[in-house]
Amino acid sequence: MISWKHREHRKHRKHARKSAPPGALRGKRIFAAAREYHQHHPWKLNRDGIMVRHVYSDMTSESLSWWDDLGFVFAKRRIMVWWLHPRMVYMDRLEALATEQCAAEYPKGQDNWLAHSTPIHRAVQGGRRKRTVGHRMGSISERYRQYFDHLQATQDALSQQDHGWSIGASLRSEVLGWCQGVNLVVPMEVRCEDDLRPLRELVECYLRGDRSALTGFPAYTFANWQKDQEQRRRKRGAAEDGHTEKN
């Protein structure tokens, strides 16, 4: 015969299996909030079911792409993808390194022209009250101008050096209150709306559990950066030549 203590113990274990841990409950609530937000704030999707944020009229078949945003619906929830090309990550590292090396020269105190602005007021219709509609910035100080010139020169010098960086493909997903956000770094070019489709398919494979979706992409190194910079120089040279001919 089973005692009442054993019966209560079994009942407790049965209910314990049904109840989810606090973290899981929070995750379910976030997913539910994201689905509800999507129902009340529908996206305008293109023919491929993708929410497009940008216009690509200025892109050519040789243009280098750096970053983009796209969205789509997966499993009744909104997926927002923030994509970076590895060359963008490489440039961000160069900017951060240059800023670190020039930190001691950053102007402070009265030279902070960004902190000194004049409010722009407009009269409210039907009354004497005024409201602030913007701020008028003063001219940049000479110390700031020298700082930014040196910062740019430092970054240009660093871009010619091999820092041993190797940037591989990566994907990081997080659940937010309005969507499931995906931070994606992968060496693919986005020059038109059709180029967003492979990014969506890649993220969908990952969300379905295929962790091998990112394998096979080469790492981005200094050699790739040099090649991209040479391509940018050729494009600038061609643009300058065309402008000279027009004049």
Give the whole-angstrom CA distance, residue 116 versus residue 129: 24
Which residue is associated with the tokens 């789509």?
72
Break the chain into its structural domains and give their ranges: 46-107+130-246
> For the segment 136-177, what is each residue's pLDDT rounded down to a tens digit?
877 778 888 999 999 999 999 999 999 999 999 999 999 888
Instruction: State which amino acid sits at residue 43.
Output: W
Tens digit of each residue's pLDDT (9 = 90 or more) over 30-71 = 777 777 777 777 889 999 999 999 999 999 999 999 999 999
E-assigned strand segments in the chain: 51-52, 67-74, 77-84, 117-123, 130-137, 170-175, 180-185
Amino acid at 199: L
CB 185 within 8 Å of CB 86: yes
Which pTM value belongs to this model? 0.77
Instruction: Please tell me which residue, 99 or 130, carries the higher pLDDT value.
Output: 99
Distance of CA 76 to the CA centre of its chain: 23
Question: In 3-state terms, what secondary structure has residue 168?
Answer: coil
Q: Quote the CA–CA distance of 81 and 206 in Å, as a whole number.
A: 12
* Contact by Cβ (8 Å): 182, 200: no
